[in-house]
């Protein structure tokens, strides 16, 4: 009982944080409200859109169970189990405003300019990496979601810009698949291979006399391709190779930073999520959208 009380107190104090209050009030701006509000009936009034959003933000920011949250939100755990995934889906529908993947050469070049200015790495379209989202093994799944870390997970594949904002996310692959395997199956890779991603043509970086393609920077888990750049092998690097690998690592740290900020702000990721994988996907997509919302509109948070 003491544990439940502690969680409720933590949740109640967390909702006072300025960014949670700002997010909750976005319902008044009709960004989420019309997507989650329900109609009153003759039998009873519906749970308001604001209450639904607040309950969802408490779940995402604390990682508390529905059983614990029902005391601080005064909403039954049965209702929370329906409200949280639905609200997460509604939040992700804001992706056209806050999580939009560049689709034209001009927009991709804007991303590349950010990397050149901030990280001194020209012709870079984004940093790629994968993150394991720990889950409770679904019934009857066997080792399907079992990963090399010794737990069960789904994989979040992300591309970030120079400011650690997500510009592309893919979630839902089982944890047994490597980062490179997830990339090979992603829509982004298919679009790049088919020439439909809108990438800019090759250009000459500042201070270079060679025309080079635009690339995404990644670690050793990803394949070396025309549009994917990875560091040199760690053994027997000469001075030039060490400098290049260092510069690439600096540019690639933006996606690592994004994952760290995401897990620290939305503490639902700090423990295995005890929900079906489909609902976990909704939670992850909502959190990535909220991450960009907070980074762009509330950069001091």
User: Considering the entire predicted model, what is its pTM?
Assistant: 0.87
First to last CA, the chain: 33
Give the count of alpha carbons within 13 A of 19, CB side only. 18
Containing 156, the helix (H) or strand (E) segment is strand 153-160
Per-residue pLDDT, 285: 96
Q: What is the dihedral of CA 111, 115, 118, 119, to 10 degrees?
A: 170
| Domain parsing of the chain, residue ranges | 2-93, 101-275
The whole-number pLDDT of residue 28 equals 39
List of long-range contacts for 139-144, beta carbons under 8 Å, 24+ apart: 143/176, 144/174, 144/176
Cβ-in-10-Å burial (0-12, 13-18, 19+) of 12 comes to middle
At which residue do the structure tokens 């809108």 appear? 198
pLDDT at res. 23: 57
Consecutive 10-residue averages of pLDDT for the chain (301 residues): 39 48 52 76 82 91 91 91 93 90 95 95 96 94 93 96 96 93 94 93 87 95 93 89 94 96 94 94 95 76 43
DSSP 1: -
Enumerate residues 6+ apart whose C-beta is below 8 A from 150: none
Q: Mapping DSSP to helix (H, G, I), strand (E, B) and coil, where does residue 21 land? A: helix
- Contact indicator for 131, 156 with CB cutoff of 8 Å: yes
CB atoms within 10 A of CB 173: 22
Asked whether 261 and 291 are in contact (CB, 8 A), the reply is: yes
* Tokens matching residue 62: 């604390």
**Could you give the count of Cα atoms lying within 13 Å of 246 in the half-sphere of its Cβ?**
7
pLDDT for res 177: 94
Burial 240-254 (b: 16+ CB within 10 A, else e): eeeebbebbebbbbb
Structure-block tokens of residue 138: 């679904």
**Residue 194 to residues 30, 54, 187, 189, 198, Cα–Cα distance (Å):** 38, 42, 10, 9, 10
């Amino acid at each position: 009982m003491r544990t439940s009380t502690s969680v409720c107190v933590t949740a109640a104090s967390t909702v006072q944080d300025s960014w949670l209050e700002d997010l909750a009030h976005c319902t008044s701006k009709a960004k989420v409200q019309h997507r989650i509000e329900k109609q009153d009936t003759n039998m009873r009034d519906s749970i308001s859109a604001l209450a639904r959003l607040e309950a969802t933000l408490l779940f995402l920011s604390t990682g508390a169970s529905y059983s614990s949250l029902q005391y601080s939100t005064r909403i039954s755990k049965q209702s929370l189990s329906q409200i949280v995934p639905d609200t997460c889906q509604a939040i992700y529908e804001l992706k056209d405003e806050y999580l939009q993947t560049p689709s034209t050469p001009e927009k991709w070049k804007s991303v590349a300019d950010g990397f050149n200015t901030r990280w001194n790495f020209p012709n870079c379209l984004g940093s790629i990496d994968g993150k394991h989202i720990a889950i409770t093994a679904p019934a009857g799944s066997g080792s399907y979601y079992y990963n090399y870390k010794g737990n069960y997970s789904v994989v979040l594949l992300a591309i970030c810009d120079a400011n650690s904002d997500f510009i592309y996310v893919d979630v839902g692959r089982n944890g047994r698949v490597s980062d490179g395997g997830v990339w090979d199956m992603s829509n982004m890779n298919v679009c790049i291979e088919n020439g439909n991603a809108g990438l800019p043509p090759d250009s000459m970086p500042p201070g270079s006399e060679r025309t080079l393609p635009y690339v995404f920077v990644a670690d050793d888990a990803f394949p070396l391709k025309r549009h994917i750049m990875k560091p040199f092998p760690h053994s027997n690097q000469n001075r030039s190779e060490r400098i290049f690998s260092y510069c690439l690592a600096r540019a690639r740290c933006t996606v690592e930073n994004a994952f760290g900020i995401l897990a620290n702000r939305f503490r639902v990721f700090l423990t295995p999520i005890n929900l079906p994988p489909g609902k976990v996907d909704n939670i992850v997509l909502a959190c990535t959208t909220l991450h960009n919302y907070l980074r762009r509109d509330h950069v001091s948070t």
